[in-house]
Amino acid sequence: MDMEFLMSMLTAKDTKQAYGALLELEHLSEESDDLYPYTERFAEMVSDRAWAVRCRGLRLFCKQARWDEAGVIDRNLDRALTILEDEKPTAVRQALAALLDVVPYKRELWLAVRQRVEAMDLSRYKDSMAPLIEKDIQRLLEVMQ
């Protein structure tokens, strides 16, 4: 498996290929720490101008939490959590779901995650999306009980 090729596919214009690479890399992240060295790179992707790239970056960033003994997640969490202010509600929903990969392994980050999630302004989203985001928030908060 050519890791650099898969990584480059994450920002490809062809969304089908990019999504396929994301799924493959997520699966790999569940099986091994092979992608852990890319954790900071994933955090940087959250600042990309393309919302899909921001989501892919955050999802892979969060998948590395189980392998994070060096505190890379901790040091980059604030940067990664900026996606919770994204204008795209789909990005926000994916981010909230991805955080479910962090909280079981990073109890020390619960307060920071909780504060950012509780401070979210849902009024910026359409009436059809705000309740869905609220459900996602509640699910994440329940896991952190």
Parse the chain into domains and list their residue ranges.
3-143
Name all contacts of 40-47 with Cβ < 8 Å and 24+ positions apart: 40/72, 40/76, 41/7, 42/80, 43/76, 43/79, 43/80, 44/79, 45/10, 45/11, 46/79, 46/80, 46/82, 46/83, 47/79, 47/82
Instruction: Inform me whether the pLDDT recorded for 69 exceeds 90.
Output: yes
Instruction: Inform me whether the pLDDT recorded for 3 exceeds 90.
Output: no
As a whole number, the mean pLDDT across the chain is: 94
pTM of the full predicted structure?
A: 0.93
Q: What is the mean pLDDT of residues 10-19?
A: 92
pLDDT in tens, 77-96: 999 999 999 999 999 999 99
Instruction: Inform me whether the pLDDT recorded for 1 exceeds 80.
Output: no
